Structure 1
Amino acid sequence: MAVEPLSPQEIEDRLAELPGWTADGNRLARTYRLPSHVAAAALVMHVAAVQDELNHHSDLTLGYDTVALTVSTHSVGGRLTALDFELARRVESLAPAHGAG
């Protein structure tokens, strides 16, 4: 099945379901604050496993107690697709277990 870019309205509707996430140009973005560096690193490893499962990878930045993600779909010119939102939804569901806020 081909991946298609989302319309501006579809992006807005899906963002409403993901508090804390923003559409920064043609990328989804979110930064999490965690209780420690180890917790942040553990979240990065968990996100990496989900990305491999989905075969869809974000840019991840690990700070001392932060993790920042940005994602878009390269195969459609770096635009946003349902796959980007699926990754964001999956990350959002696992982040609280790591103490992310």
Structure 2
Amino acid sequence: MAVEPLSPQELKDALAGLPGWTLDGDRITRAYRLGSHFAATAMVVHIAQVQEELNHHSDLALGYDTITLGIHTHSAGGAVTAKDVELARRVETLAAGHGAG
């Protein structure tokens, strides 16, 4: 089943419910700051687990105490889809438990 890109209005509505997430070119992005490198690394592992569960993976970068994500769907021509929004929502949920800001 093909995944369809979100319309501009659907994307706007989705981002309204995802504080801190923005549209950057063809993907939605968010950066998180954590209390230490270890805390950031633990959150990266947790995000990787969620990505495996969803079978949907982001561009994920680990800095000293920061994590940056960029999400879009390659099979939809690199556009943002509902799969991307679901991954972002799951990351937002787990971020609170990691103390990410």
TM-score by length of 1: 0.98
Could you tell me which residue of structure 2 aligns to residue 36 of structure 1?
36
- Stretches of 4+ moved more than 6 A in 1? none
What do the CA deviations read for 1:38-92 (whole angstroms, capped 9, x no partner)? 0000000000000000000001100000000001000011000000000000000
> Aligned equivalents of 1:76 and 1:4: distance in 2?
6
SS in 2 for 1:86: helix
Alignment map for 1:50-69 (pairs within 5 Å): 50-69=50-69
> Aligned equivalents of 1:99 and 1:5: distance in 2?
32
How far residue 2 of structure 1 moved from its aligned partner, in angstroms, is 2.4
Could you tell me which residue of structure 2 aligns to residue 76 of structure 1?
76
> Aligned equivalents of 2:87 and 2:26: distance in 1?
15
SS in 2 for 1:49: helix
How far residue 26 of structure 1 moved from its aligned partner, in angstroms, is 1.2
Give 5+ residue unaligned stretches, structure 2: none
> Aligned equivalents of 1:9 and 1:62: distance in 2?
31
- Alignment RMSD (CA, Å): 0.6
**Aligned partner of 2:74: which letter?**
H
Could you tell me which residue of structure 2 aligns to residue 86 of structure 1?
86
How far residue 14 of structure 1 moved from its aligned partner, in angstroms, is 0.4
> Aligned equivalents of 1:58 and 1:76: distance in 2?
14
Q: Does 1:25 align with 2:28?
A: no
SS in 2 for 1:68: strand
**Aligned partner of 1:27: which letter?**
R
Between the two proteins, what is the percent identity of the paired residues? 69
